[in-house]
Structure 1
Amino acid sequence: MSSIHLASVSALALSAFLTPAFAQNHDTALQDVITVTGIRTPTEVDAIEPNMEPDTGPDAAALAARLPGAALIGNGALSGQVQYRGLFGSRLNIRIDGQNFASGGPNLMDPPLHYAPAPLLAAIEVDRGISPVSDGPGLAGGVNAVLKRVDFASADEAFRLRYDLTAGGRSADASHSAGGIIGTSSDTWRMHILFSNEEGNDVDYPGGTIGGSEHQRTVYGAGLGWQSNGHEFGLDLRRQETGATGNPPFAMDIRYFNTDFARSFYAFPAGDMTLRLEAGYTAVDHAMNNFDLRPAPPAMQQRETYANSESRTLSLDAVWPQAAAEWRFGIDHQDDDHATRITNPNAAGFFLDSFPAVEMQRTGAFVEWRGEVSGWDAELGLRTDLHNANAGLARTGPMVPAMPGMLANAFNASDRDIDDQTLDLAARFWRQEGNVTWRITLARKTRVAGYVERFAWLPTPASGGLADGNTYVGDLNLNPEIAYIVEAGFDWSRDGAYFRPTAFVRHVDDYIQGVPFDATPGVIDTPVEMVSNMNGDPTPLRFANVDARLYGLDFDFGYAIDQNWRLEGVFSYVRGERRDIDDNLYRIAPTSLRMALTREAVNWSAGLETLAVAEQDDVSVTNSEASTEGYVIFGVSGDWQIREGATLLAGVSNLLDHRYERHLAGYNRNAGSDVAAGTRLPGEGRSLWLRLHFQR
């Protein structure tokens, strides 16, 4: 498990094997980090030994959701999204090992953390409140999933075998997983190979089984690095193959995702500055259908959709230290291509290019300064980006009814080449006074419309992962979202106790939200409504600019009762409202409190965790969102260090086998399930789990 010095005790949250801590080279006032390690710290040194991190399943988003302000949006075993202070999806700047890329599916079945399997995960870094402008654009905080690798050795170490391996299983879905890295390094060279495999069956809940909720995922790859005299080069290659995986909240399930990643960088000194040149490439090939993992509809209603995307990134930045301050400048470019075709596997003449040859380009430049302002540490940043989005010609097959063809012709006749420019400003201040660090954040952050929001000419359930059962169409004239952000809080720690509250307000102009297609919802008098009605939804939504506000409070806290017992907790509250009409934003996390009591000894620990979630009745009428009741669930976990570098971890989640509904889970659309179609998906039942971790 990981360890945290008492001076940084405020970074603790409610986990052990995966424990929030402050990363090296990052200010504790600005970032939370969930770290993964296998080294137990002796109790006699000035450190706090972590407890066991309870099992969260195969989705890395569930780990990030344990931090203050964060929550899990469950769209399937491998399709979960992180919500942070009410925002999710493309509004968060989510990266894998610092690499930005476009997901492959129009319904975000492969959100970025889909590509961070737990056996390969070293850390999850979460920017508190907002991302620095140097990390790229984004309306809210940033999340970076850091994968395991072999680091350079010290100067007096020779090449030797290094590894970090994990294997485990859990009963809720009869799943198993294994993987990790093996490599070697010197002070000049490092190299490793990696592998991960995960498989699971349908998930059990109290009262039955969630049909079509199984998962399959395999990852393999390699990396190497070289350094000498201030120069450093790195190259990482990775292949991920996701097999048949269920998505009960969606109209289809994953048949496959075949995804290739390549990333390289070169850092070198240039006078007083350090320059870093980085290039990345990602290619996603995706298929989904409505008949493999759920009861097959009649032949002419069967659908298989093929989607692909490519991302190319290039960046150059410079770090220039100056006395007690530091400047950072940079330029970056990202080019994303998307294409989606809907087919009927039983009829070659039935196809629709719902997203035809879409290209999204962004070129940005930033400047960032760190130093002292009137006794406060400060980070000030400015970023501007030029965006271009365009789409090709929509096509429909000869067996497609005439009405979708009319919509395609209207789309083809429109101006499908759109330019936007955005400006981001960020100012973060923090100051330590004794046991307290005060924090203030002021920012203007932006986001342009995604390709689904912009170019969806055909009314389908594709919505970027909203999973609300509605059909949507896009709007070519969407304005960029602009958020004005104010946050304030403090970090206090003393004598084994800590408390870290943050209050925040986000005032968002031109928030992109689904609204009724026209002024007469339910009256089917337009081609879009006619096609949507043919697809089962007589009241389609269209993406539009509205006004919104999000505000709330979150904190974590802890108290070392004595040298063996520790109490910790995380509280999160967020409220999301429309400012233009009397309605709430869709899929906002309910208030929650997580607490854990842990007993630690020299080579073992055990703990009891409680999660209390309030009812959520501040729901979106526009999105036909149902309210949910509150619930309380318990879990127990423990760990035993078998020997140095070998740890056994075990536990039981949902100890009392309580049936509950997670508000951020979607509504079931798989008829082959014990969960009624159209009702909210329940949380999993009692689950026994076991994990072995080996590290050298």
Structure 2
Amino acid sequence: MTYRLLCSATALPLLLAVPAMAEEAEPAPLTDTIVVTGQRQSTALEAGTDPVSGHASAADAAALAARLPGAALINNGAISGQVQYRGLFSDRLAIRVAGQSFQTGGPNAMDPPLHYAPAILLSSISVSRGAAPVSEGPGMGAMVDARLKSVDFTSSAAMTPVVSLASSYRSADDGVAVGGVAGLASERVRFNVIAAWEQGDDYRIPGGRARDTGYERLTYGLSAGFSTGDNRLSLDWRRQETGQSGNPPYAMDIDFFHTDFVRAGFEGKLGTLPFDLTLGFSDVSHGMDNFSQRPAPASLSQYRYSYAEAQTLTATARLGIGPVRIGVDGMTVDRMVNITNPNSAGFVIGSLDQVRQERIGAFAEARLARGGWQADLGVRVDGHTARMNNPQTGNAVPMMIANLAKATALINGQRTDTTWDAVIRLWREEGTVRPRLTLSRKSRVPNAVERFSWLPTEASGGLADGNIYIGRQTLKPEVAWAAEGGVDLVSGPLTFRPSAFYRRIENYVQGTPVPSTMTAQIAIATMNGDATPLIASNVAAQVYGADADLTWQMLDRLKLEGTVSYVRGKRRDIADNLYRIAPLNGRLALTWQADRWSVTGEAVGAARQSKVSATNGEAASPGWVAANLWFDLALGESISLSGGIENLFNRRYSDHLAGRNRVTGSDLAVGEKLPAPARSLFVRLGFTL
């Protein structure tokens, strides 16, 4: 521990950082934002909209986002967590990191989008309440916008240095993180660099350690911008190198992720009309195996090493004409996955063989205001195509798998879909009572795993539940009709923001039992330990619930904050529940605020979840309550210290959405849900200039 703390202190002044250009902020009444505590904002550093303070102890940014009302954490590993928001997760949400959308590289989403937003570099996470605007692309639910620390233009002609650095330590896994942002900026030019390094061991649980949960991640990059008159240009590059990191809910662990992001943007005028153009590219390469970090299989024939790639190219152009904004956008994704046995050169399976997905869309939005009311009206249309090369196998692959690959080639073909979305958002921004309403029709096409996974494997896009899945090329796009309404009650020291929502989904994609006629798939799955595999299918579903947050300045120095979230997911075609839906949960925090310090006591908890999916063999989970303590201390104009104690009473509990352990030799039983860390000390030191 001492060695790591010394490393943090030594490396802190050496690490620099910066990401992408600021995105246009959404109206605060329709956005929830959590800002990382323990950082002082410089005038040249981006600030979040409608900030709600939040502490970040885990390396995974998804854990921080899960503190927002309506959100929950899907814990699949130290840096592989996903956010569920109002019952939806994965690519059903429009997730942006540093202003960029992209496809993850792993077929099992070991690198979900927030994997690329290290908490030590995180400035804020915003979630749109209700459906995301149509200008953010297709996607059935909210938009999640993770902003990294960045340097913006200043109001001075002189070049001004800007620095924001941080270092943290977490005792649960002896996790160390150092990183930040530094650069030079004026009213015309900005230039910055970005870097962060994180490492943690297997984390402690009450009674032992969770084996195979260590991680290592390095992030670095450059950013530059030029401003003249009404026009701004930006260019950003960022690279992330994830080293060996454990994923006990999966059949394999991360060997590496090597990922590059490039983003170029223009904001300004086309003649006299507002115009912006954004180009983005990401390139993910990924290796994973089942023998280097966890106990190796007993037989050499069971060793597996999989290699995956994903390249995403995006483009968006928008033009403003009075209150109307029109635009076109597109995305092309190329991906592949090869499964190998390092002990047999002839064992090669192209489980996703050169899949290409293409989308091009057009949209129009209008912003209207009248009588104190604001309104956004938007519509978009998208054309989608998807295709996969005929699957290939090596000469050492079992004949049953080779024959299935040949049978898949006979039905393989290009898939074409057309989707349309519409969103109406109404709200008031002033007054004691501020109503808001969102009505939407949103859609999502099946992803590559759901559509093209011809080989029965455990690749499930992040479910990590031990079930074996196969895809279905004939899947139809999901379509969701949704209504979300609420009111912001703002009266002096009290703010209360309840919301209720309902979403009716046609062609919802979920695993259902493989038909008995698919004898080859069932036989292969049975050989791999699952005699009841699941196939991606379109079903009818509905998701509804309510959530709220409360802020009450009870006294000059005493503040009460809380959130509560409830979501219910049901099948409409049969009497069953949707799979992996968070139970009723919430948190309540009481903060004493002095001039230069504050201390917070927090209770978090979740109710029992018994409304589970029988189709997917989902088990109920008990409720739990835990307590945390946090503090923030200003040590000067530029230095801040924050931290706390998590799981104060050292309770052993697991979230309903946590993945299940599959690693032997751990202090967790095989099949047991990953519990929360044991009592843990967290400290974060920040410096801002």
For Structure 1 versus Structure 2, the TM-score category normalised by the shorter chain is over 0.9
The structure-2 alpha-carbon separation of the partners of 1:678 and 1:308, relative to structure 1 and needing over 3 Å to count, comes to: same
> How far apart are the structure 2 equivalents of 1:184 and 1:376?
41
Residues 93 and 141 in structure 2, CA contact (< 8 A), matched pair in contact too: yes
1:14 corresponds in structure 2 to: none
1:107 corresponds in structure 2 to: 108
Per-residue deviation, 1:415: 3.4
> How far apart are the structure 1 equivalents of 2:51 and 2:419?
43
2:627 aligned partner, one-letter code? F
Q: Matches of residues 438-449 of structure 1 in structure 2 within 5 Å?
A: 438-449=435-446
> How far apart are the structure 2 equivalents of 1:86 and 1:566?
30
Residues 206 and 684 in structure 1, CA contact (< 8 A), matched pair in contact too: yes
1:676 corresponds in structure 2 to: 669
Per-residue deviation, 1:372: 2.9
Among 559, 574, 587, the alignment partner of 1:581 is 574
Residues 381 and 421 in structure 2, CA contact (< 8 A), matched pair in contact too: yes
Whether 2:87 is the aligned partner of 1:86: answer yes
Q: Matches of residues 501-650 of structure 1 in structure 2 within 5 Å?
A: 501-518=498-515, 526-650=519-643
The structure-2 alpha-carbon separation of the partners of 1:655 and 1:287, relative to structure 1 and needing over 3 Å to count, comes to: same
The structure-2 alpha-carbon separation of the partners of 1:200 and 1:530, relative to structure 1 and needing over 3 Å to count, comes to: same
Q: Matches of residues 27-426 of structure 1 in structure 2 within 5 Å?
A: 27-36=27-36, 38-39=39-40, 53-155=54-156, 157-297=157-297, 298-321=299-322, 326-372=323-369, 376-426=373-423
> How far apart are the structure 2 equivalents of 1:183 and 1:204?
38
The structure-2 alpha-carbon separation of the partners of 1:465 and 1:25, relative to structure 1 and needing over 3 Å to count, comes to: closer
Per-residue deviation, 1:54: 3.5
2:78 aligned partner, one-letter code? A
Residue range with higher mean Cα deviation, 74-83 or 53-62: 53-62
> How far apart are the structure 1 equivalents of 2:430 and 2:164?
40
> How far apart are the structure 2 equivalents of 1:368 and 1:53?
33
1:17 corresponds in structure 2 to: none
2:46 corresponds in structure 1 to: none
Give structure 1 stretches of 5+ with no counterpart.
1-22, 42-48
Residues 52 and 649 in structure 1, CA contact (< 8 A), matched pair in contact too: no
1:299 aligned partner, one-letter code? L
> How far apart are the structure 2 equivalents of 1:554 and 1:251?
35
> How far apart are the structure 1 equivalents of 2:85 and 2:161?
39
Residue range with higher mean Cα deviation, 487-496 or 269-278: 269-278
1:382 aligned partner, one-letter code? V
1:285 aligned partner, one-letter code? S
Q: Matches of residues 417-436 of structure 1 in structure 2 within 5 Å?
A: 417-432=414-429, 434-436=431-433
2:13 corresponds in structure 1 to: none
> How far apart are the structure 2 equivalents of 1:24 and 1:140?
19
Residue range with higher mean Cα deviation, 114-123 or 526-535: 114-123
Residues 60 and 80 in structure 2, CA contact (< 8 A), matched pair in contact too: yes
> How far apart are the structure 2 equivalents of 1:669 and 1:167?
32
Among 486, 489, 496, the alignment partner of 1:489 is 486
Q: Deviations over 1:22-63 (max 9, x none)?
A: x9843122111222473389xxxxxxx999744440001111
Residues 51 and 598 in structure 1, CA contact (< 8 A), matched pair in contact too: no
Among 466, 478, 482, the alignment partner of 1:469 is 466
Per-residue deviation, 1:245: 0.6
Residues 54 and 651 in structure 1, CA contact (< 8 A), matched pair in contact too: no
Per-residue deviation, 1:100: 1.1
> How far apart are the structure 2 equivalents of 1:585 and 1:416?
30
Residue range with higher mean Cα deviation, 432-441 or 378-387: 432-441
Residues 458 and 466 in structure 2, CA contact (< 8 A), matched pair in contact too: yes
> How far apart are the structure 1 equivalents of 2:658 and 2:444?
25
Give structure 2 stretches of 5+ with no counterpart.
1-22, 43-49
> How far apart are the structure 1 equivalents of 2:431 and 2:181?
42
Question: How many equivalent pairs are there?
Answer: 658
The structure-2 alpha-carbon separation of the partners of 1:332 and 1:618, relative to structure 1 and needing over 3 Å to count, comes to: same
Residue range with higher mean Cα deviation, 266-275 or 127-136: 266-275
Greater than 6 Å deviation, 4+ residue runs: 49-52
Per-residue deviation, 1:519: 5.2
Residues 431 and 490 in structure 2, CA contact (< 8 A), matched pair in contact too: no
> How far apart are the structure 2 equivalents of 1:213 and 1:560?
40
Per-residue deviation, 1:320: 2.7
Residues 36 and 53 in structure 2, CA contact (< 8 A), matched pair in contact too: no
Residues 195 and 220 in structure 1, CA contact (< 8 A), matched pair in contact too: yes
Per-residue deviation, 1:165: 0.6
Residue range with higher mean Cα deviation, 565-574 or 273-282: 273-282
> How far apart are the structure 1 equivalents of 2:642 and 2:317?
43
1:685 aligned partner, one-letter code? A
> How far apart are the structure 2 equivalents of 1:460 and 1:344?
15
Whether 2:685 is the aligned partner of 1:692: answer yes
- Give the secondary structure class of the aligned counterpart of 2:400: helix
The structure-2 alpha-carbon separation of the partners of 1:664 and 1:352, relative to structure 1 and needing over 3 Å to count, comes to: same
Residues 275 and 317 in structure 2, CA contact (< 8 A), matched pair in contact too: yes
Per-residue deviation, 1:270: 2.2
Residues 607 and 638 in structure 1, CA contact (< 8 A), matched pair in contact too: yes
> How far apart are the structure 2 equivalents of 1:200 and 1:366?
44
Q: How high is the sequence identity, in percent, across the aligned residues?
A: 46
Q: Deviations over 1:477-528 (max 9, x none)?
A: 00000000011100011121110000000000000000000158xxxx7000
Residues 446 and 477 in structure 2, CA contact (< 8 A), matched pair in contact too: yes
Q: Deviations over 1:242-297 (max 9, x none)?
A: 00011111100000000011000112312331111111110000000001111000
> How far apart are the structure 1 equivalents of 2:41 and 2:164?
15
> How far apart are the structure 1 equivalents of 2:553 and 2:24?
24
Residues 54 and 64 in structure 2, CA contact (< 8 A), matched pair in contact too: no
- Give the secondary structure class of the aligned counterpart of 1:161: strand
- TM-score, normalised to structure 1, is 0.93
> How far apart are the structure 2 equivalents of 1:238 and 1:141?
25
Residues 33 and 124 in structure 2, CA contact (< 8 A), matched pair in contact too: yes
Q: Deviations over 1:648-674 (max 9, x none)?
A: 112100000000011110111111311
Residues 132 and 142 in structure 2, CA contact (< 8 A), matched pair in contact too: yes
1:44 corresponds in structure 2 to: none
Per-residue deviation, 1:333: 1.0
> How far apart are the structure 2 equivalents of 1:51 and 1:591?
21
Per-residue deviation, 1:375: 6.0
- Give the secondary structure class of the aligned counterpart of 1:57: coil
> How far apart are the structure 2 equivalents of 1:135 and 1:313?
12
Per-residue deviation, 1:196: 0.3
- TM-score, normalised to structure 2, is 0.93
- Give the secondary structure class of the aligned counterpart of 1:655: coil
Q: Deviations over 1:373-429 (max 9, x none)?
A: 676311000011000000002111111111011110011111320000000010011
Per-residue deviation, 1:183: 0.2
- Give the secondary structure class of the aligned counterpart of 1:113: helix
The structure-2 alpha-carbon separation of the partners of 1:234 and 1:502, relative to structure 1 and needing over 3 Å to count, comes to: same
> How far apart are the structure 2 equivalents of 1:53 and 1:146?
14
- Give the secondary structure class of the aligned counterpart of 2:307: strand
Residue range with higher mean Cα deviation, 446-455 or 558-567: 558-567
Per-residue deviation, 1:82: 0.6
2:138 aligned partner, one-letter code? P
> How far apart are the structure 2 equivalents of 1:51 and 1:356?
44
The structure-2 alpha-carbon separation of the partners of 1:24 and 1:261, relative to structure 1 and needing over 3 Å to count, comes to: closer
